[in-house]
Structure 1
C-alpha cells in the first residue's frame, strides 16, 4: 500500500548522495519529491505543508556526524515526522465491532455487542451472525427503537450479566448530516463510553481528514480504527488522522478474518513506508554516541 510513497522518498534521498551538509538550496528538490510523494499517497494538502515545513526546518544545517551521512540523517528526520503523523465507514464498521469483541475476548474480557444501526436491517443480522462466530452475545431491539434507547437497554442488560465490555455498533454514513450527529450525541450521552472510536477506511484518502475532523468536533472521539490496511491503498488516511484530529489510530484491520485486528504502532508504520530499517538503526546509534 505504501510502495508509491516509498519510491518517492527514495528519489529524495538519492538526490542528496555525496552532500556533506544539508542546505536550504540542496534540499529544495528532495523536499519537492517528498511533497509530491505525500500528495500522491493522498495525504491532505494542509498536512503535507506542515510536514514539509517541519522536515525542512530540522534538516537545514545538518552535516556529517561520525560516519553518518546527511542524506541518512534526513531519513531519520522524515521517519520521526511520519511517526508523529501516524500516532493517526461501507468501511467494515459492523465487522470491526465483532473483530474488536474477539480481540478483547482473547484478553480475557467478557463482551456484549449491541446492534444500534437501525437504518440497515442487514447490519443487525450481520452483527448477530458475527457475534455467534466469535462467541459473543448480541443485544438487538430491531429497527423500530431509537438507537439511544437500544444503547441504554443494552447497557442495562450487560450490567445484569456482569459483562466487562459493551461495544455498540452505531449508524454510519459516507455523507455526514446533522440528524446522524444528533443521534450519535444522544447515544454517547446515554452510554458515557470509555472509548469513542471512528472506523476509517485506509482507502478513503484525503476525505479521511475531513471525516475525522468533523466527528471529533461534533462527537468527540478518543481514537480511530483503520480498516483495509491490507488493500490497494495509497495510505494517506493513515498519515492524516492524528495530525488533523489530534487523536491516535488505536487499532488496524489487516484482513478478512476475525483475528485480523491488531494494535497500531506508528514507528512500525513509518518504518514500512521508508523501507530503510538499517539506515534508521545506523542513524539512531550514531546519535546516541554523540
Structure 2
C-alpha cells in the first residue's frame, strides 16, 4: 500500500543525503517536497500541516545543521514524527479484568467487519482464550452464514438466531450464554450500511449500552482513503470507539487513511488486515510502520511472523540436522521450502528487509505454481533417491519426469539449486552467526525469478 509514498519520500531523501552540508534553504525545499508527497498520498491536510510544523521546528535547529550527516538526521526526524502521527506506540487489545472480554466490530458495509471478526477470533484462540462470535448483522444477506463458516474454519462457536431481527435481544442472550459457558472473549459482528445513518447509530448505541464492551473496533477500508477517515470520525463521535482496524492493506491505494486516522480521531490503529485469509492479521506497530515507509525495513515483524508460521518442532529437527552431523537431503529441502512458504509471498517478505524498495522488486517474479512443481518432482522420487540425489542418473530423471509431469530440464535445475543449498548448509556449520562465510545466500528455488 505504501510503495508509491515510500518511493517518493526516498527520492526526496536521496537528494538530500548526497549533499555534504544542508543549508536552511535546502531543508525548506526538502520539506516542501515531503509535504507535497504526503498530500498526494491523500493524507489529511490538517494532519499534514501539524506534521510538517513539528518536523520543521526540529529540522531547522542548530544541532541538525551542524550534524555530520544532516541528510540522515532529517530522515531520523521524519521517522520520529511519522511514528507520532501513527500513534507513537502499539496499543494491544484491552482485556476485561473479569471475563468475558466483549469486542464490538463496527463500520460500514463492505469494510471487512465479518472477516476481521474471524481473524481476531483465530488470534484469540491461538492465544488459548476460549472465544465465541455472535452474529448481530441480521440485515445483510448471508451475513449470518458467512460468520458461521468462518467460525467453523477457526474452530470457534458462533451464536446466531436465524430469522430474528431483535438485534439487542440476540446480543443479550448471547452474552448470557457466554457468561454461563465461561468464555474469555466474545466478538459481536454488527450490521453496517453503505453510509452512516441515524438508524444504524441508534442500534449500535443500544448494543453498546447492553454489552458494555471493552473494545469497540472500527473497521476501515484502507482502499477508500480520506472517506474512511471521515467515517471513522462519525463513528467515534457517536460511539467513542476504542481502536481501528485497517483492512485491505495489501492493496495499491495511496495509504493516506492509515497516516491520517490517528491524527483525526486520536484512537489507535490496533490491527492491519492483509488479504482474505484468516491468518492475514498483523498487530500495528507505529514505529515499525514508519520504518517500512522510510524503507528502513521491519525485521522484528519478520521474525515474529516466522515464529508464528513455522512448525517449531520441524524447524528444530531441521536445525539439529543442519548444524549437527546429519546429511541435508531432499526431504529436508522440501520441508524447509514448505516452512518458508508459510510466511507468505516472497515479495512481501523482501519489503520487510532494510533498503529494499519496490523498484528493486520489479524484476522479482515468483511463479505461484513453482512450489507445487517442486513437491511433485521430489515426491516422484524413491525414498533412497531423496536421501542420495547423486544416484539420480539420466534414466532415473526421465522416470521422475514421467511421474510428475515436469520436464527433465526442470528436474536438473532443481537438483542444481539443491546442491547450492547443500553448500550453504555446510558453510553454516561451526559458525556462531547466521551468515554464510564469504558466500551469499543461495538462489531460492522458486523459479521465474530474475
Q: TM-score under structure 1 normalisation? A: 0.90
Aligned residues: 276
Q: Is the 8 A contact 1:22 1:70 kept in 2?
A: no
Deviation at 1:258, TM superposition (A): 1.1
Counterpart in 2 of 1:179? 199
2:242 aligned with 1:222, yes or no? yes
Counterpart in 2 of 1:44? 44
Counterpart in 1 of 2:119? 99
Question: For the residues of structure 1 that align with 2:84 and 2:129, how far apart are their CA atoms?
Answer: 31
Counterpart in 1 of 2:229? 209
Report 1:132-147 matches (<5 A). Answer: 132-147=152-167
Q: Is the 8 A contact 1:121 1:143 kept in 2?
A: no
2:253 aligned with 1:233, yes or no? yes
Residue 124 of structure 1: which of 117, 127, 144 is its match?
144
Counterpart in 2 of 1:71? 71
Counterpart in 1 of 2:290? 270
How large is the Cα RMSD of the aligned pairs? 1.7
Segment of structure 1 superposing worse, 184-193 or 248-257: 248-257
Secondary structure of the 2:65 match is coil
Q: Which runs of 5+ in 1 are unaligned?
A: 280-290
Secondary structure of the 2:210 match is helix
Question: For the residues of structure 1 that align with 2:233 and 2:10, how far apart are their CA atoms?
Answer: 31
Question: For the residues of structure 1 that align with 2:163 and 2:121, how far apart are their CA atoms?
Answer: 22
Question: For the residues of structure 2 that align with 1:55 and 1:132, how far apart are their CA atoms?
Answer: 49
Q: Is the 8 A contact 1:12 1:29 kept in 2?
A: no
Q: Is the 8 A contact 1:127 1:138 kept in 2?
A: yes
Q: Is the 8 A contact 1:116 1:169 kept in 2?
A: yes
Question: For the residues of structure 2 that align with 1:148 and 1:52, how far apart are their CA atoms?
Answer: 46
Report 1:247-286 matches (<5 A). Answer: 247-276=267-296
Q: Which runs of 4+ in 1 moved over 3 A?
A: 276-279
Deviation at 1:27, TM superposition (A): 2.1
Secondary structure of the 1:113 match is strand
Secondary structure of the 2:223 match is coil
Counterpart in 2 of 1:53? 53
Question: For the residues of structure 1 that align with 2:51 and 2:194, how far apart are their CA atoms?
Answer: 28
Q: TM-score under structure 2 normalisation? A: 0.59
Counterpart in 2 of 1:31? 31
Distance 1:46 1:143, change over 3 A: farther
Deviations 1:129-185 (A, max 9, x none): 111111111111235333222111110111111111110001122311111111111
Counterpart in 2 of 1:7? 7
Deviation at 1:22, TM superposition (A): 4.8
Distance 1:15 1:144, change over 3 A: same
Question: For the residues of structure 2 that align with 1:72 and 1:126, how far apart are their CA atoms?
Answer: 49
Question: For the residues of structure 2 that align with 1:215 and 1:173, how far apart are their CA atoms?
Answer: 12
Question: For the residues of structure 1 that align with 2:247 and 2:256, how far apart are their CA atoms?
Answer: 13
Question: For the residues of structure 2 that align with 1:140 and 1:231, how far apart are their CA atoms?
Answer: 32
Question: For the residues of structure 2 that align with 1:259 and 1:7, how far apart are their CA atoms?
Answer: 28
Question: For the residues of structure 1 that align with 2:128 and 2:19, how far apart are their CA atoms?
Answer: 55
Counterpart in 1 of 2:19? 18
Deviation at 1:112, TM superposition (A): 0.7
Secondary structure of the 1:81 match is helix
Instruction: Work out which of the two has the higher radius of gyration on C-alpha atoms and give 1 or 2.
Output: 2
- The structure whose RCO (Cα within 8 Å, separation 6+) is larger is 1
Distance 1:177 1:19, change over 3 A: farther
Question: For the residues of structure 2 that align with 1:8 and 1:268, how far apart are their CA atoms?
Answer: 19
Q: Is the 8 A contact 1:113 1:166 kept in 2?
A: yes
